[in-house]
Amino acid sequence: MIETVDRLTVLRARIAAWKRAGLRVGLVPTMGNLHAGHFSLVAALRAQVDRVVASVFVNPTQFGPNEDFARYPRTPEQDAQGLDAAGCDLLWQPSVETMYPLGLANTVTVRVPGITEVLDGAHRPGHFDGVATVVTRLFNQVQPDVAAFGRKDYQQLAVIAHLVAELAFPVEVLPVAIARDADGLALSSRNQYLDADQRALAPQLYRTLQAMRDGLRAGRAPAKVEADAQAQLSALGFAVDYAVVRTPTLGSLAPGDGEAVALLAARLGATRLIDNLEFSLAPASTAS
């Protein structure tokens, strides 16, 4: 069975031994309640490194006061079994006290300016400060050569790429494709909050992203594409936080841009879902 470690001294000893042996170490940072999307991150890393560490830590600093920190699903035994089966070598499961030794009120906070102020950053104030802060700590604790992050959290990936470049972390960021259910719904631990009717509706997010892509490729103006997506999702019963088309760096699209990303965040009842679709604007392209 996979070794679960919750003490920093033990983690450091394991990592140091691997590094002394010349082994490359990969990290999959997670908040647990693992599903096939997380295991695809482990698989992608396995192809690149000699040892894979997964961290499971439900990070309090990235949840707002009215968000789902308390009810976020925690399934430690299931997670350990899944990571074992996925070929992960070590499970790093720190306590809040180990992650934030001076207490939550006294943390050193890492804030990435600019890119964190739009979209999810605007709708979830402080969220990306929490993400950047915990990812910085995880990088310092595990000292990975490579760290894998899912493309589903598009803005998070951009924030982490910025963080790594800006603070010169010697870590390669490995982006991994979105894992979807057969009906197109992006896998997420929050999908299990959905009741049967909401679950049946949720794949409309992916269909809307495809319609946004098709609209832009057909030459429709970005503002029209966004307004149509917003109206369509609202009519279906989603409470839409944003429905936007952007450049890959989340800027406004301009005529002649070759690459784009459509991004959605919408709530069904109390459950907030996000999804995105990256695509080329060239009509003949086969990019999805």
Minimum Å gap between C-beta 251 and ligand PAF is 23
The answer to whether the CB of 42 falls within 8 A of the CB of 52 is: yes
Nearer to ligand PAF, 135 or 185 (CB): 135
For the chain, report the end-to-end CA distance as a whole number of angstroms: 38
Nearer to ligand PAF, 14 or 38 (CB): 38
Burial per residue of 186-196, b for 16 or more beta-carbon CB atoms within 10 angstroms, e otherwise: bbbbbbebbee
Minimum Å gap between C-beta 131 and ligand PAF is 5
38 in catalytic set: yes
Pairwise CA distance, residues 99 & 33, whole Å: 19
Minimum Å gap between C-beta 105 and ligand PAF is 19
Pairwise CA distance, residues 272 & 285, whole Å: 32
Question: DSSP characters for 147-178?
Answer: EEEETTSHHHHHHHHHHHHHTT-S-EEEEEPP
* Residues whose CB falls within 8 Å of the CB of residue 223, separated by 6 or more in sequence, listed in order: none
Of 20, 283, 274, which is closest to residue 12 (Cα–Cα)? 20
Pairwise CA distance, residues 80 & 141, whole Å: 20
Nearer to ligand PAF, 40 or 62 (CB): 62
Nearer to ligand PAF, 165 or 223 (CB): 165
Residues 35, 38, 123, 162: which is the catalytic one? Answer: 38
Phi-psi region of 189 (alpha: psi -120 to 50; beta: other; left: phi over 0): alpha
The answer to whether the CB of 46 falls within 8 A of the CB of 70 is: no
Residues in contact with ligand PAF by CB under 6 A are 29-31, 59, 62, 131, 134-135, 153, 156
Minimum Å gap between C-beta 153 and ligand PAF is 5
Nearer to ligand PAF, 40 or 230 (CB): 40
Minimum Å gap between C-beta 156 and ligand PAF is 6
Q: What's the one-letter identity of residue 214?
A: D
Active-site residues, by number, are 38
